Amino acid sequence: MTDLPDRLCTNPRSPYYDEALLQQGIGIRFRGEEKTNVDEYCVSEGWVKVAVGNKVDRKGNPMTIKLTGPVEPYLKPNE
């Protein structure tokens, strides 16, 4: 299995963005639950940033909230 990065972001302007890996499909389990709205995660620091509805900031980026807890990224199976 491919080693997943410690930190990954869906924003192309982030230094933690990896388009090839995101196209493969990454799933996130946070506190034992599947999350589908994760914008960024960090396994070593134990946090995820999730989108807050359809809200955007003044630059047009989605508003996010940082949640702490155990993070488990995994590759989604090809369908």
Please give the structure tokens belonging to residue 34.
């599947």
4: CB partners within 8 A, 6+ apart: 21, 26, 73, 74, 75
Closest by CA to 62, choosing from 51, 72, 70, 73, is: 51
Whole-structure pTM value = 0.85
Which distant-in-sequence residues (6+ apart) come within 8 Å of 33 by Cβ? none
pLDDT tens digits for range 40-64? 999 999 999 998 888 898 988 889 9
